[in-house]
Amino acid sequence: MVKTNPIKFLQEVRQEVSKVTWPTRKETGISTAMVFLMVLLATIFFFLVDQILASGVRLLFGLGG
């Protein structure tokens, strides 16, 4: 097993991190807003599907009103 010099390792990490293209504050904000929007849409979709299926089960088994 090859032992890596900790200082060399940290230099390589720093070099690799400098290659990363970090998103701007605006891009981060837009991405965050889109995630919340998609979560909201998924929540509404699954709520409606659940209500439809629950109504079908109640109709099928004659439960509730």
Q: Would 16 be classed as within a structural domain?
A: no
For residue 28, the enclosing domain spans: 24-65
Question: pLDDT 10s per residue in the chain (65 long)?
Answer: 677 788 999 999 999 999 999 999 999 999 999 999 999 999 999 999 999 999 999 898 887 65
Q: Would 9 be classed as within a structural domain?
A: no
CA distance 32 to 7: 36
Domains: count for the chain: 1
Q: Would 39 be classed as within a structural domain?
A: yes
What amino acid is encoded at 1 in this protein?
M
Q: Would 60 be classed as within a structural domain?
A: yes
Q: Would 54 be classed as within a structural domain?
A: yes
CA distance 4 to 27: 37
Q: Would 13 be classed as within a structural domain?
A: no
pLDDT given at position 65? 54
Q: Would 47 be classed as within a structural domain?
A: yes
Q: Would 6 be classed as within a structural domain?
A: no
What amino acid is encoded at 26 in this protein?
K
